[in-house]
Structure 1
Amino acid sequence: MEHMVFRGSAAVAPGEFDLAIEMCGGTSQAATAVDSVQFAATVPASRAAIALTYLGDMLLATALDPEEWGWEQAVIRHEIAEAASEPAVYQALLAAVFPGGAHSRDILGSEADLDRLTVDGLRAFHGDRYRPEHMVVAVVGGISLAATVGMVEEAFAGNLPPAASPEAIVAPPCPPGGRQTLTVPGLSTAQWWLGWAGPPADCPREGLALELASAVLGEGRLSRLVATLREEWGWVSDIGTAFSPSREGGVFVVRAQLAADRLPAVAPVVSEILASLWQKGIAEGEWQRAKRALKNQFAFAMEDPSQLAAFLGYQVLAGNAPWVADWSRTYPGWIDEMTPDYVQRIAQTYLGRSPAIVEAYPA
């Protein structure tokens, strides 16, 4: 659907939106994630109405022309082929962490999925999901609230047909959680991945606690896993951790790159270091470093208006509207309010369980 929106509507010709935004001195982009799709334009504040008018028309009245769909199918097939050439280790981990869930399926899908998808199916999906009640419009910049509300209401108003009922999509079988071993062409060394299901995006405090845990465990040369296994012992060439939230549920990941014969020795050390977080506590020095790192990451990620708009829009979509109005103080304030005890408790709750494991070896 993301591709077809840019193919225009009855009032907007294919390519017209991009040209209009460029003529304003702006840029446009779109991205599809596992639980949302984002369409964005960055323009001077004086041209905001132009961008909003185009977006409103294209999103709510997408043409879905069969000929244009034929062109886009070819483009998507190329994207699927390109994605197939990349190591699919992370996707395998997500399938193990969320068997049968949205995370378990690749966003692009397969060529077989594409063959089954018809213009009528697209229309049904569009009629069901591309409606104002399912959308969040986030506008960031030097423009008044009253003017913004007026422009958004005008751009996204209209007499829409009744919501459609799209055909249910049957998820393909997914491997159960546990341990998987893959042989992946293109890998130069072995990879070892651990994954745990975490809190969904509408539990931001728990998610923030896992972000702090990640900073202590595997982000930066002073973090526990990196300092021990890479810097001091040299057992891995790379290791790190990350927590990524989504509406279905977040995922906490440990990823190591290492020689295959090192894995039997590395695995128990990683388990021991993870458990030390809630068994032995967090030292004051690493606690302050983790909080400082998160604040800095957040500040740097919000420098661009398009980044901020994407962040705020997604948070509202995820059910976090109450704190979005004061976002610049709320998030750093939560970091200041966090305690090591709380982070330890949340980490044990989610990371104390058995992880999904994917071992990937060069072909």
Structure 2
Amino acid sequence: MAASTRIAVALLVTLLTLVASACSTKRTALVAPPTSAPIRHVLFNGVRVIIEEHRTSDVVAVQLWVKAGGRDEVANELGLAHYLEHMLFKGTPTRPGRLIDREVEGTGGRMNAGTSLDFTYYHMVLPASRAVAGVEILADIGVNASLDEPLLEAEKRVVLEEIRLGEDSPMRFLFKKTYESVFDGHPYGRPVIGTPELIRALTREQLVRFYRRLYSPENFTLVVVGAVNPDQIRDVATRAFSRLPRGGTARLPAPPIADLKPRAVALPRPGTQAYLTMAWMAPKLDHADTPALDLVVAILGQRRASRLTEALRERLGLVNSISAGYTAMEAAGVLTVTAQLETDNLARAEREILAEIQRVRDGGVTEAERERSVTAAEAGREFQMETAEGRAFTLGRAETVWRLEDELLYLDRLRSVTIEQMHAAARRYFDPERYVKVTLVPSRTR
């Protein structure tokens, strides 16, 4: 049966079902499963616990967030936060070998982890009945990881391959070089994944020192979202995490961010297409200008009908793709405009990007553009919060790098932004004279 026929039949069946339901004398109202407001609790040793009852399905997302990322490394520790992330699920004295894998995957669950410049987080999705086990596993790996020497050495091959794949990806390589240039001399300018030289020379003693220094209750946030009883989860979290003694060492604040030094970096790259990124320094996550700048960036280049896409791709045909981005971190932010294009179009594309930005700086945006951007942000938020996993990520990141209450109110802040505030933000941060430009040029043309 053709796909279109299958769809038509499915629609007909759905329609008949709806008609039958409407004609029935017994009508059942469709009520969305309940989602309670998140509950925040701080244990005596500093562990923060966030629980949200979310009953759209019989699953639970359990996550451990740690205030330990690439920015917490000293020069000879580059890549340790990421390497430690690889090692924590590989066993503890009470869960040796692959016991954690079997415990999670044996129930149909899954687990993974991620590292950024500001944080590391460990996440699981499990049947709701296994929520207690998930909490206990995360409490165990949080401070009791074995970090066995043979496994550490074997994992070097995995991380080195990950580094190689990152170098092979034009976009990853481009953004690595962009951050190096924007945050020159700052930890935000260093690659989270490390370097091959440091990974090859890494010892267990180095990793254990980093682990002991930063993996302490004061730096932990446990997030549990799903079909759970909040009171039960709070009791379980208290029992599992209250056993951990305080570390006594607070995380150091990120170093101050230096003023951006305008520069142009051109690098040869195998391939047939050129890549261009233009970057500006931007405010950090909790800055008052962040909502206005979020909306400006959406208007410039985050949709198919955005200004940069309409001008440079659709009207002028200068680029194959173009987008704008705003990454707001705990200590700073960065604005980017990124394009893939033919080498011969690089100079003109840069001029046209600046011209489009100047139009926003001079004339601002329209009320219709503002409304569309707010609507897009609302839809994006709904998609992000659709699953237990997405909700847990949003809550955990907020508690770790800014404030939970601000995250919960962020959409209201976006809705209240005026076109005058957006105009002011564009003029303040998109300086046409002060930006970093990084280009990857096909090596065959150089």
* TM-score normalised per structure 1: 0.90
* Residues 1:244 and 2:336 aligned together: no
* Contact map agreement 1:53 1:155 (CA 8 A) in 2: yes
Residue ranges of structure 2 left out of the alignment (5+ in a row): 1-83, 252-259
Structure 1 equivalent of residue 222 of structure 2: 137
**2:286 paired with 1:202:** yes
Pairing 1:122–2:201 present: no
Structure 2 contact 364–422 (Cα < 8 Å) conserved:
no
Tell me if 1:53 matches 2:139: no
1:120 Cα offset (Å):
1.0
Q: Provide, for residues 96-154 of structure 1, a one-character-per-residue CA deviation record: whole Å limited to 9, x for no partner.
A: 11112223111111111113321111111111111110011111112233222212122
SS in 1 for 2:108: coil
Which residue identity does 2:434 align to in structure 1? S
Deviation track 1:56-101 (CA, whole Å, cap 9, x = no partner) reads 1012111122122112122222222222322211110111111122
Name the CA shift for 1:165/1:45 in 2 (closer, same or farther; >3 Å): closer
Find the counterpart in structure 1 of residue 434 from structure 2. Answer: 354
Which one of 372, 380, 384 corresponds to residue 301 of structure 1? 384
1:212 aligns with 2:299: no
1:161/1:336 Cα in 2 relative to 1: closer, same or farther (>3 Å)? closer
Matched, 1:157 2:242: yes
**Residue 274 of structure 2: aligned partner:** 190
Larger radius of gyration between Structure 1 and Structure 2: 2
Contact 2:88–2:145 at 8 Å: present in 1 too? Answer: yes
Name the aligned partner's letter for residue 187 of structure 2.
A
Residues 217, 245 of structure 2: 8 Å contact kept: no
1:27 paired with 2:110, answer yes
Once the two structures are TM-superposed, the CA of residue 335 in structure 1 deviates from its matched residue by: 1.9
Any conservation in 2 of the 1:6–1:14 contact (CA below 8 Å)? no
- Select the residue among 349, 355, 358 that pairs with 1:272: 355
Q: Aligned residue for 1:339? A: 418
Assess, with a 3 A threshold, how the Cα gap between structure 1 residues 260 and 9 changes in structure 2: closer, same or farther. same
Q: Deviations over 1:314-336 (max 9, x none)?
A: 11111213334xx2xx2321221
Measured in 2, the distance between the counterparts of 1:264 and 1:333 equals 40
Give the secondary structure class of the aligned counterpart of 2:221: coil
User: C-alpha distance in 2, partners of 1:341/1:176?
Assistant: 28
Determine what percentage of the aligned residue pairs are the same residue.
26
- Among candidates 93, 108, 121, match of residue 10 of structure 1: 93
Contact (CA 8 Å) 1:127, 1:163: kept in 2 or not?
Answer: no
Change in Cα spacing, 1:133 to 1:97, as seen in structure 2 (3 Å) is same
Amino acid in the other structure paired with 2:278? L
Q: Per-residue deviation at 1:11?
A: 0.7
Distance 1:137 1:345 in 2: 38
The answer as to whether partners of 2:284 and 2:331 remain within 8 angstroms in 1 is yes
Question: Residue 15 of structure 1: CA displacement?
Answer: 2.0
Mapped partners of 2:161, 2:250: distance in 1: 30
User: Across the two proteins, how many residue pairs are aligned to each other?
Assistant: 349
C-alpha contact (below 8 Å) 2:225/2:391 kept by paired residues: yes
Matched with 2:191 is 106
Q: Secondary structure of 1:18's match? A: helix
SS in 1 for 2:336: strand
Name the amino acid aligned to 2:440.
A
Shift of 1:163: 5.7
In 2, the alpha carbon distance for the partners of 1:161 and 1:122 equals 20
Contact 2:218 2:246 in 1 (8 A): no
8 Å CA contact 1:80–1:108 kept in 2: the answer is: yes
Conserved 8 A contact 2:261-2:436: no
Cα distance, 1:162 vs structure 2 = 5.1
Asked whether the equivalents of residues 230 and 236 of structure 1 are also in contact (C-alpha less than 8 Å), the reply is: yes
- RMSD (Å) for aligned C-alpha atoms: 2.1
Residue in 2 aligned with 1:169? none
SS across alignment from 2:319: coil
CA distance in 2, matches of 1:25, 1:108: 30
Work out the CA distance in 1 between the residues paired with 2:404 and 2:299.
29
Instruction: Tell me the distance in 1 between the aligned counterparts of 2:250 and 2:380.
Output: 42
CA distance in 2, matches of 1:19, 1:103: 36
CA contact (8 A) 1:125 1:165 kept: no
Report the CA distance between 1:251 and its aligned residue. Answer: 1.4
What does residue 286 of structure 1 align with? Answer: 369
Cα contact 2:174–2:440 (8 A) shared by 1: yes
Alignment partner of 2:123 out of 29, 34, 40: 40
Distance in 2 (alpha carbons) for counterparts of 1:245 and 1:161: 30
TM-score by length of 2: 0.74
- CA distance in structure 1 between the partners assigned to 2:141 and 2:329 by the alignment: 26
Whether the 8 Å CA contact 1:238–1:258 is kept in 2: the answer is: yes
Shift of 1:266: 2.1
**How many angstroms apart in 2 are the aligned matches of 1:183 and 1:273?**
28
Quote how far apart the aligned CAs of 1:273 are. Answer: 1.1
Q: Per the alignment, do residues 119 and 165 of structure 1 end up closer, same or farther by CA in structure 2, a change over 3 Å counting?
A: farther
Which 5+ residue runs of structure 1 have no aligned equivalent? 167-174
| 1:70–1:276 CA distance, 2 compared to 1 (3 A) | same
